[in-house]
Structure formats: C-alpha cells, structure tokens
C-alpha cells in the first residue's frame, strides 16, 4: 500500500503566517523522508467569495507548486489532485504536464476532475454546461499532444491540424491520468480511458448536503470490482490504481491510528494508494503530522 500526502489547501489563505521562515519544499522533503510515496496539490485558480465563505479554499497553481516540490526531492511522485479539466485548454495543460514530467524524471500523475464551481468556470470563460463531453475530449487531446508527433484531430471541441508538442513527457506514452470523484461519469472515464481512480469517503449524511454520491469504505470493494468488470468489457486491463481518501479528522494522532488500522481492509478492496488529507494549521503542525503518519504507517506495514 502506498500513501499520498495532500497539501493542506487552507494554508494558502494565511500563507505568510502559516509557513513562517520555511518554504513549500520542506513539506515535500519531509514527506519523502518519512516514507510517503506521493505529494499532491489541488486546483482553484479564481474561486468565488460565496464558495470561500461556505468552507471553500484557495490553492497554489498545481504545476508551479508541484514543480517546486519536485526540485527538492528525488523519489516522491507528484499528483494534481485534482486538475479541473475545463479550466484550461488541454493543449496548454499538456505542455505544463509534459514539462513537469520531463523535468522531474517521470514522476507526475495527472489527477483530473470535471469540476463543479459554476462561478469559477464563468470567470475563467470556461464552458460549464458541456464540461462532461469536453472532459472526455480533453483526455484524448492530452495524449495526442504527449505523443510528440504531428497531431491531426477532427475533434468537436479541440481540433488540431499540423501541430506538434515537444519535449515529450519522460513517461511513455505519457503520465498516468487518474479521475477524481465518486460519480457514475467518473467511473465511466476510469473504465473507458483513464489509468486510475481518485474516490473519496462520503457518508450518506454528507452526500445529501454536497450532492456528491455516497461512498463508504464498506462499499469501496464493490465499486472497484465493478470497475474491473467495466474495464475488461471495454477491452482494457482490469487492474488499475485506486487512490482512496478517507474522511478527514482534525486530530492527527487519531487519524494516523485509524488509517494504519484500516490499511488491510483497503488493500483487500483493491486500493493501491491511500491519501492523507492534511488539516494542519501551521508548518510546524504539518511537519509533525507527516512524521506521525510516517511512523504509524511504517509500523503497520512491518507488523
């Protein structure tokens, strides 16, 4: 079982006081040294104040933040968690992703999602109503650009004729694409075109509030088994990566103990990565949290 450390997004709002005299690289280095396999950042370029007031958060540009982390580390993988497909032209996203993957030595995983913040779509002049089919088209556009060959695509949304992108990503034929979300559409994309899935725990009560489909740890194995069937039916490899995010708690010691105890259940279900959704309120808390989780998970896997 591998482990991802999700950068605490709410740190960005109070960054100067949150980070103190340290910098973002310290987080990535600590995660690598404590045995984490991946670090990740989210994506909100220009969120609406109403959403922020209701519990939303700011974010660094994911490619900039992950590049900063990559330069200070050697081993940990780098995950966009998640890149909103509709916020960028996919050929621009492909260039950023290919550049980061090449310069990091092939460590990027492109986590993507359809997005749900209508106001953020609108201010970015991105199309909200048809974001689903645009997302499907974007995956193909990314991979076409990563080929390094002349692209000829008669695509409804992203046609290209006679264009080529270099350098190629270090990973061939390109970085893995993982799809975020619990919805049927997310699962369809995992089955038909992606390389991995980024589901998150969502109890029924919370699902009723957020409108996001319910997903509990007990249901996870069934969903993964269903996805394997769907992938086989589509003529694709049945096995795929699953990075599951359990519901977060603000008590890191308790959260680390719970996660370590749950790892065998997740592994039986078919999970390949678990994600620690950091709630740290300062850089010192963050570094302590990383060490705490590292020790708990190391102890669990050595038993």
What residues contact residue 54 under an 8 Å CB cut-off, 6+ apart? none
Alpha helices for the chain (secondary structure H)? 15-19, 24-33, 49-53, 62-71, 90-103, 118-123, 131-146, 184-192, 204-210, 217-233, 252-269, 283-302
Instruction: Give just the sign of the alpha carbon dihedral 59, 259, 110, 291.
Output: positive
Q: For residue range 12-42, what is the model confidence (pLDDT) as tens digits? A: 999 999 999 999 999 999 999 999 999 999 9
Residue 302: per-residue pLDDT: 53
Which two structure tokens, joined as six digits, stand for 47? 């969120």
Q: Write down the pLDDT at residue 162.
A: 98
pLDDT value for 149: 98
Question: What is the pLDDT of the chain when averaged over all its residues?
Answer: 95
Answer yes or no: is pLDDT of 179 > 90: yes
pLDDT of residue 210: 62
Q: 248 pLDDT band (50/70/90 cuts)?
A: confident
Residue 212: band (very low, low, confident or very high) from pLDDT cuts 50, 70, 90: confident
Of the ranges 172-176, 226-230, 251-255, which one carries the lowest mean pLDDT score?
Answer: 251-255
24 sits in which H/E element? helix 24-33
pLDDT digits 0-9 by tens, 70-108:
999 999 999 999 999 999 999 999 999 999 999 999 999
Q: How confident is the model at residue 203 (pLDDT cuts 50, 70, 90)?
A: confident
Spatial contact of 197 and 223, defined as CB atoms under 8 Å apart: no
pLDDT per residue over 150-164, tens digit each?
999 999 999 999 999
Name the pTM for this structure: 0.96
Distance from first CA to last CA of the chain, Å, rounded?
Answer: 13
The neighbouring-strand residues paired with 300 are none
Residue 39 and residue 71 in contact, taking contact as beta carbons nearer than 8 Å = no
């Amino acid at each position: 079982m591998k482990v991802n450390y999700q950068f605490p997004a709410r740190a960005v709002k109070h960054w100067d006081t949150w980070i103190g005299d340290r910098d973002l690289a310290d987080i990535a280095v600590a995660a690598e040294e404590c045995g984490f396999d991946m670090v990740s950042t989210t994506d909100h370029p220009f969120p609406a104040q109403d959403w922020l007031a209701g519990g939303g958060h700011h974010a660094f540009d994911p490619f900039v933040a992950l590049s900063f982390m990559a330069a200070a580390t050697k081993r940990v993988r780098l995950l966009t968690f998640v890149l909103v497909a509709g916020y960028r032209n996919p050929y621009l996203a492909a260039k950023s992703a290919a550049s980061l993957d090449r310069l990091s030595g092939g460590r990027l995983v492109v986590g993507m999602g359809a997005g749900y913040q209508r106001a953020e779509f609108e201010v970015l002049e991105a199309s909200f109503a048809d974001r689903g089919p645009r997302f499907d088209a974007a995956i193909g556009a990314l991979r076409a650009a990563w080929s390094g060959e002349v692209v000829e695509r008669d695509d409804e949304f992203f046609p290209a004729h006679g264009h080529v992108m270099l350098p190629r990503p270090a990973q061939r034929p390109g970085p893995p694409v993982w799809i975020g979300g619990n919805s049927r559409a997310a699962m369809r994309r995992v089955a038909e075109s992606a390389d991995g899935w980024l589901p998150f725990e969502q109890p029924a009560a919370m699902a009723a509030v957020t409108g996001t489909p319910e997903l509990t740890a007990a249901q996870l194995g069934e969903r993964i088994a269903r996805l394997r069937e769907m992938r086989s039916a589509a003529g694709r490899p049945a096995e795929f990566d699953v990075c599951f995010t359990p519901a977060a708690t603000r008590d890191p010691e308790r959260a680390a103990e719970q996660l370590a105890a749950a790892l065998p259940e997740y592994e039986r279900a078919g999970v390949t990565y678990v994600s620690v959704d950091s709630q740290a309120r300062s850089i010192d808390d963050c570094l302590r949290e990383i060490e705490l989780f590292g020790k708990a998970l190391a102890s669990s896997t050595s038993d």
